[in-house]
Amino acid sequence: MFTIVDALPGFATFEDKYALDKYNMARTTWEGINEEYRVLLATIGADAVPTQDKKIELETAQRQVYYWQEKVDDQKQDDNTVYLYLVPDVNKRISANQNYYTCSLDSFILTSAEQKGILDLIEESGQRVMTVDNAIMTLKYPRFVLNVSLIIYEGYELNTIREQIISKTSDYFLKNTRRDRIPQSDIVRIIENINGVDSVTVWFDADVANSDIYGTGNHGLDGYGDIILSRFVEDAFGNKVPVKDLYPLIRGGWESVNGVYYDDSTRKDKLCNVNIQLRGLTPVDLNSNTNKTIVSNL
Protein backbone atom coordinates (compact mmCIF):
# COMPACT_ATOMS: atom_id res chain seq x y z
CA MET A 1 0.00 0.00 0.00
CA PHE A 2 2.90 2.38 0.69
CA THR A 3 6.29 3.31 -0.72
CA ILE A 4 7.48 4.75 2.61
CA VAL A 5 6.51 3.60 6.09
CA ASP A 6 8.19 5.14 9.11
CA ALA A 7 7.22 5.25 12.77
CA LEU A 8 7.99 7.85 15.42
CA PRO A 9 7.29 7.38 19.13
CA GLY A 10 5.07 10.12 20.49
CA PHE A 11 7.52 11.29 23.12
CA ALA A 12 9.97 12.10 20.30
CA THR A 13 7.61 14.33 18.33
CA PHE A 14 8.37 18.02 18.22
CA GLU A 15 4.90 19.25 19.21
CA ASP A 16 4.79 17.18 22.37
CA LYS A 17 8.26 18.21 23.51
CA TYR A 18 7.53 21.85 22.71
CA ALA A 19 4.32 21.87 24.76
CA LEU A 20 5.98 20.07 27.67
CA ASP A 21 8.95 22.45 27.66
CA LYS A 22 6.61 25.44 27.61
CA TYR A 23 4.61 23.99 30.49
CA ASN A 24 7.74 23.41 32.57
CA MET A 25 8.92 26.95 31.90
CA ALA A 26 5.52 28.39 32.84
CA ARG A 27 5.45 26.28 35.99
CA THR A 28 8.94 27.45 37.01
CA THR A 29 7.97 31.08 36.40
CA TRP A 30 4.79 30.67 38.47
CA GLU A 31 6.70 29.09 41.34
CA GLY A 32 9.20 31.96 41.39
CA ILE A 33 6.49 34.63 41.37
CA ASN A 34 4.50 32.73 43.99
CA GLU A 35 7.51 32.70 46.31
CA GLU A 36 7.98 36.46 45.82
CA TYR A 37 4.27 37.02 46.52
CA ARG A 38 4.43 35.03 49.76
CA VAL A 39 7.41 37.08 50.94
CA LEU A 40 5.54 40.33 50.23
CA LEU A 41 2.48 39.05 52.12
CA ALA A 42 4.62 38.25 55.13
CA THR A 43 6.56 41.51 55.16
CA ILE A 44 4.30 44.35 53.95
CA GLY A 45 0.84 42.80 53.89
CA ALA A 46 -1.84 41.97 51.34
CA ASP A 47 -3.05 45.55 50.86
CA ALA A 48 0.31 47.03 49.88
CA VAL A 49 0.63 48.16 46.26
CA PRO A 50 3.71 45.96 45.51
CA THR A 51 1.79 42.97 46.89
CA GLN A 52 -1.27 43.73 44.76
CA ASP A 53 0.90 44.14 41.66
CA LYS A 54 2.65 40.86 42.41
CA LYS A 55 -0.74 39.16 42.82
CA ILE A 56 -1.76 40.27 39.31
CA GLU A 57 1.56 38.97 37.98
CA LEU A 58 0.97 35.67 39.80
CA GLU A 59 -2.51 35.27 38.28
CA THR A 60 -1.11 35.90 34.79
CA ALA A 61 1.59 33.28 35.38
CA GLN A 62 -1.06 30.84 36.64
CA ARG A 63 -3.07 31.27 33.44
CA GLN A 64 0.04 30.42 31.42
CA VAL A 65 0.46 27.21 33.44
CA TYR A 66 -3.17 26.27 32.75
CA TYR A 67 -2.78 27.13 29.04
CA TRP A 68 0.27 24.94 28.48
CA GLN A 69 -1.16 22.15 30.61
CA GLU A 70 -4.12 22.05 28.20
CA LYS A 71 -1.70 21.99 25.25
CA VAL A 72 0.13 19.03 26.76
CA ASP A 73 -3.18 17.24 27.31
CA ASP A 74 -4.41 18.07 23.79
CA GLN A 75 -1.29 16.73 22.12
CA LYS A 76 -1.60 13.33 23.82
CA GLN A 77 1.76 12.58 22.22
CA ASP A 78 3.29 10.50 24.94
CA ASP A 79 5.08 7.19 25.30
CA ASN A 80 1.87 5.36 24.40
CA THR A 81 1.42 6.92 20.96
CA VAL A 82 3.20 5.90 17.76
CA TYR A 83 3.03 8.36 14.85
CA LEU A 84 3.12 6.86 11.37
CA TYR A 85 4.80 8.54 8.40
CA LEU A 86 2.99 7.02 5.43
CA VAL A 87 3.42 7.75 1.71
CA PRO A 88 0.95 5.83 -0.45
CA ASP A 89 2.15 3.76 -3.40
CA VAL A 90 1.01 6.15 -6.13
CA ASN A 91 1.40 3.44 -8.80
CA LYS A 92 -1.60 1.70 -7.25
CA ARG A 93 -3.66 4.90 -7.27
CA ILE A 94 -3.25 6.09 -10.88
CA SER A 95 -4.22 4.80 -14.31
CA ALA A 96 -1.76 3.19 -16.73
CA ASN A 97 -1.54 6.31 -18.92
CA GLN A 98 -0.48 8.55 -16.01
CA ASN A 99 2.88 9.05 -14.34
CA TYR A 100 4.42 10.96 -11.43
CA TYR A 101 4.26 14.28 -13.32
CA THR A 102 0.72 13.99 -14.71
CA CYS A 103 -1.34 12.33 -12.00
CA SER A 104 -3.58 14.26 -9.62
CA LEU A 105 -1.79 15.74 -6.62
CA ASP A 106 -4.40 14.01 -4.47
CA SER A 107 -2.73 10.74 -5.43
CA PHE A 108 0.10 11.52 -3.00
CA ILE A 109 -2.14 12.33 -0.03
CA LEU A 110 -4.10 10.00 2.21
CA THR A 111 -7.66 11.21 2.70
CA SER A 112 -9.24 11.32 6.15
CA ALA A 113 -11.32 8.27 5.23
CA GLU A 114 -8.20 6.35 4.14
CA GLN A 115 -6.37 7.26 7.33
CA LYS A 116 -9.30 6.08 9.42
CA GLY A 117 -9.47 2.88 7.38
CA ILE A 118 -5.78 2.18 8.01
CA LEU A 119 -6.10 2.72 11.75
CA ASP A 120 -9.24 0.58 11.82
CA LEU A 121 -7.41 -2.15 9.91
CA ILE A 122 -4.60 -2.15 12.49
CA GLU A 123 -7.21 -2.34 15.24
CA GLU A 124 -9.17 -5.16 13.63
CA SER A 125 -6.09 -7.18 12.69
CA GLY A 126 -5.31 -7.83 16.34
CA GLN A 127 -1.75 -6.58 15.79
CA ARG A 128 -2.07 -3.37 17.81
CA VAL A 129 -0.37 -3.41 21.19
CA MET A 130 -3.10 -2.78 23.75
CA THR A 131 -1.16 -0.04 25.57
CA VAL A 132 -0.16 1.81 22.38
CA ASP A 133 -2.23 4.24 20.31
CA ASN A 134 -1.49 4.80 16.62
CA ALA A 135 -1.83 8.11 14.78
CA ILE A 136 -0.93 9.16 11.22
CA MET A 137 1.32 12.18 10.78
CA THR A 138 0.10 15.14 8.75
CA LEU A 139 2.79 15.60 6.10
CA LYS A 140 3.92 18.82 4.46
CA TYR A 141 4.51 18.94 0.69
CA PRO A 142 7.17 21.41 -0.50
CA ARG A 143 7.33 21.67 -4.29
CA PHE A 144 10.19 21.69 -6.77
CA VAL A 145 10.85 21.26 -10.49
CA LEU A 146 13.63 19.44 -12.32
CA ASN A 147 15.79 21.24 -14.90
CA VAL A 148 18.03 19.25 -17.26
CA SER A 149 20.72 20.43 -19.66
CA LEU A 150 21.91 17.81 -22.19
CA ILE A 151 24.64 17.10 -24.67
CA ILE A 152 23.62 14.14 -26.83
CA TYR A 153 25.34 12.10 -29.53
CA GLU A 154 24.61 12.80 -33.17
CA GLY A 155 22.04 10.49 -34.71
CA TYR A 156 19.79 10.37 -31.63
CA GLU A 157 16.40 12.07 -31.38
CA LEU A 158 15.99 14.59 -28.59
CA ASN A 159 12.27 13.81 -28.34
CA THR A 160 12.99 10.13 -27.75
CA ILE A 161 15.57 10.94 -25.08
CA ARG A 162 13.18 13.45 -23.52
CA GLU A 163 10.44 10.84 -23.17
CA GLN A 164 12.89 8.42 -21.56
CA ILE A 165 14.03 11.09 -19.09
CA ILE A 166 10.44 11.78 -18.09
CA SER A 167 9.66 8.08 -17.79
CA LYS A 168 12.75 7.08 -15.81
CA THR A 169 12.74 10.06 -13.43
CA SER A 170 9.01 9.49 -12.89
CA ASP A 171 9.79 5.93 -11.82
CA TYR A 172 12.55 7.19 -9.54
CA PHE A 173 10.35 9.69 -7.71
CA LEU A 174 7.52 7.18 -7.40
CA LYS A 175 9.83 4.57 -5.87
CA ASN A 176 12.13 6.86 -3.89
CA THR A 177 12.31 5.95 -0.19
CA ARG A 178 15.06 8.32 1.03
CA ARG A 179 14.30 10.27 4.20
CA ASP A 180 17.33 12.57 4.28
CA ARG A 181 17.71 14.20 0.85
CA ILE A 182 17.13 13.86 -2.88
CA PRO A 183 20.57 14.34 -4.42
CA GLN A 184 21.13 15.71 -7.90
CA SER A 185 23.66 12.92 -8.42
CA ASP A 186 20.87 10.31 -8.43
CA ILE A 187 19.18 12.09 -11.34
CA VAL A 188 22.48 12.54 -13.20
CA ARG A 189 23.19 8.81 -12.88
CA ILE A 190 19.75 7.90 -14.23
CA ILE A 191 19.95 10.20 -17.25
CA GLU A 192 23.55 9.33 -18.12
CA ASN A 193 22.45 5.70 -18.53
CA ILE A 194 19.94 6.64 -21.23
CA ASN A 195 21.17 5.64 -24.68
CA GLY A 196 22.31 8.68 -26.68
CA VAL A 197 23.16 10.93 -23.73
CA ASP A 198 26.75 12.16 -23.70
CA SER A 199 26.66 14.39 -20.63
CA VAL A 200 24.05 16.00 -18.41
CA THR A 201 23.69 18.74 -15.82
CA VAL A 202 20.65 18.85 -13.55
CA TRP A 203 19.36 21.29 -10.97
CA PHE A 204 16.20 21.78 -8.97
CA ASP A 205 14.25 25.00 -8.60
CA ALA A 206 11.98 25.62 -5.62
CA ASP A 207 8.60 27.15 -4.94
CA VAL A 208 8.94 30.54 -3.24
CA ALA A 209 6.19 29.39 -0.84
CA ASN A 210 8.46 26.59 0.43
CA SER A 211 9.79 29.13 2.93
CA ASP A 212 6.46 28.78 4.77
CA ILE A 213 7.51 25.18 5.44
CA TYR A 214 11.29 25.36 5.79
CA GLY A 215 11.49 28.82 7.35
CA THR A 216 12.19 32.33 6.08
CA GLY A 217 14.87 32.39 3.40
CA ASN A 218 15.02 28.60 3.14
CA HIS A 219 13.30 27.00 0.15
CA GLY A 220 14.42 23.41 0.70
CA LEU A 221 17.66 23.31 -1.33
CA ASP A 222 21.05 23.05 0.31
CA GLY A 223 24.21 24.80 -0.87
CA TYR A 224 24.85 22.02 -3.39
CA GLY A 225 21.34 22.04 -4.87
CA ASP A 226 20.04 18.84 -3.25
CA ILE A 227 16.48 18.73 -1.92
CA ILE A 228 16.47 18.52 1.88
CA LEU A 229 13.89 16.25 3.49
CA SER A 230 13.91 17.77 6.97
CA ARG A 231 13.14 21.20 8.31
CA PHE A 232 14.24 23.01 11.43
CA VAL A 233 11.86 24.55 13.92
CA GLU A 234 12.52 26.51 17.09
CA ASP A 235 11.83 24.72 20.34
CA ALA A 236 10.63 26.27 23.58
CA PHE A 237 14.18 27.33 24.45
CA GLY A 238 14.96 28.90 21.07
CA ASN A 239 17.04 25.95 19.86
CA LYS A 240 16.79 24.70 16.27
CA VAL A 241 15.58 21.11 16.12
CA PRO A 242 15.05 18.94 13.01
CA VAL A 243 11.60 17.69 12.04
CA LYS A 244 11.08 15.03 9.36
CA ASP A 245 7.50 15.47 8.21
CA LEU A 246 8.18 16.37 4.56
CA TYR A 247 7.35 14.68 1.28
CA PRO A 248 8.64 16.81 -1.61
CA LEU A 249 6.73 16.94 -4.89
CA ILE A 250 8.44 17.58 -8.23
CA ARG A 251 5.44 19.43 -9.57
CA GLY A 252 4.87 22.96 -10.86
CA GLY A 253 2.00 25.38 -10.54
CA TRP A 254 3.96 28.06 -8.69
CA GLU A 255 6.55 30.86 -8.96
CA SER A 256 10.18 30.58 -7.89
CA VAL A 257 11.95 33.10 -5.69
CA ASN A 258 13.15 34.75 -8.94
CA GLY A 259 9.59 35.15 -10.23
CA VAL A 260 9.79 32.31 -12.75
CA TYR A 261 6.47 30.51 -13.20
CA TYR A 262 6.45 26.75 -13.75
CA ASP A 263 3.36 25.06 -15.15
CA ASP A 264 2.16 21.82 -13.55
CA SER A 265 2.57 19.74 -16.70
CA THR A 266 5.19 18.19 -19.00
CA ARG A 267 4.52 20.49 -21.94
CA LYS A 268 7.40 21.29 -24.29
CA ASP A 269 6.32 24.88 -24.91
CA LYS A 270 6.27 25.94 -21.25
CA LEU A 271 8.50 25.83 -18.23
CA CYS A 272 6.99 22.94 -16.30
CA ASN A 273 7.69 19.96 -14.03
CA VAL A 274 10.64 18.71 -16.13
CA ASN A 275 12.52 21.16 -18.34
CA ILE A 276 15.00 19.67 -20.82
CA GLN A 277 17.43 21.87 -22.73
CA LEU A 278 19.72 20.66 -25.51
CA ARG A 279 23.03 22.49 -25.30
CA GLY A 280 25.13 20.54 -27.76
CA LEU A 281 25.83 17.55 -29.99
CA THR A 282 28.78 15.19 -29.87
CA PRO A 283 29.91 13.57 -33.13
CA VAL A 284 30.11 9.79 -33.01
CA ASP A 285 33.63 8.76 -34.04
CA LEU A 286 36.37 6.38 -33.00
CA ASN A 287 37.62 8.65 -30.20
CA SER A 288 34.17 9.18 -28.62
CA ASN A 289 33.35 5.47 -28.82
CA THR A 290 36.72 4.57 -27.28
CA ASN A 291 36.16 7.02 -24.44
CA LYS A 292 32.67 5.61 -23.77
CA THR A 293 34.23 2.17 -23.39
CA ILE A 294 36.87 3.52 -21.03
CA VAL A 295 34.27 5.22 -18.84
CA SER A 296 31.99 2.19 -18.70
CA ASN A 297 34.91 -0.03 -17.63
CA LEU A 298 36.11 2.20 -14.79
Is it the case that residue 12 has pLDDT exceeding 60?
no
Q: What is the extent of the structural domain holding 282?
A: 140-298
pLDDT digits (tens, 9 = 90+) for 87-97: 888 888 888 89
139 burial class (0-12, 13-18, 19+ CB within 10 angstroms)? middle
Going by pLDDT thresholds of 50, 70 and 90, the confidence category of residue 14 is low
Number of domain units in the chain: 2
pLDDT at residue 16 tops 60: yes
Interior/surface letters 190-212, b for 16+ CB within 10 angstroms, e for the rest: bbeebebbbebebebbbbeebbe
- Judge whether 119 lies within some domain: no
Q: 130 falls in which pLDDT band (50, 70, 90)?
A: low
Q: pLDDT, tens digit, for every residue of 159-169?
A: 999 999 999 99
Residue 109 lies in a domain: no
Tell me, yes or no, whether 259 and 154 share the same domain.
yes
Q: CA-to-CA distance for 165 and 112, rounded, in angstroms? A: 34
Q: What is the pLDDT of residues 94-118, one digit of tens each?
A: 888 999 999 999 999 888 888 888 8
pLDDT for residue 252 is more than 90: yes
User: Does some domain include residue 134?
Assistant: no
What pLDDT is attached to residue 80? Answer: 65
Domain end among 24, 59, 75: 75
Residue 95 lies in a domain: no
Residue range 41-64, pLDDT digits in tens: 889 998 999 999 999 999 999 999
Q: What is the pLDDT of residue 96?
A: 87
Q: What is the pLDDT confidence band of residue 77, given thresholds at 50, 70 and 90?
A: very low
How far, rounded to the nearest angstrom, does the alpha carbon of residue 265 sit from its chain's CA centroid?
Answer: 22
What is the spatial distance between Cα 209 and Cα 254, in angstroms, rounded to a whole number? 8
At residue 284, the pLDDT reads: 82
Looking at residue 293, what is its pLDDT? 75
Task: Flag whether pLDDT at 211 surpasses 70.
Answer: yes
- Both 42 and 176 in one domain: the answer is no
Q: Does 66 map to a domain? A: yes
Q: Is residue 297 part of a domain?
A: yes
Asked whether residue 286 falls in the same domain as residue 151, the answer is yes
Q: Residue 144 region, left (φ>0) first, then alpha (ψ -120 to 50), else beta?
A: beta
- Tell me if 191 sits within 8 A of 148, measured CB to CB: yes
**Is residue 171 a contact partner of residue 163, using CB atoms and an 8 Å limit?**
no
Averaged pLDDT of the chain: 86
Nearest 5°: phi and psi at 199? Answer: -150, 160
- Asked, for residue 99, whether it belongs to a domain, the answer is no
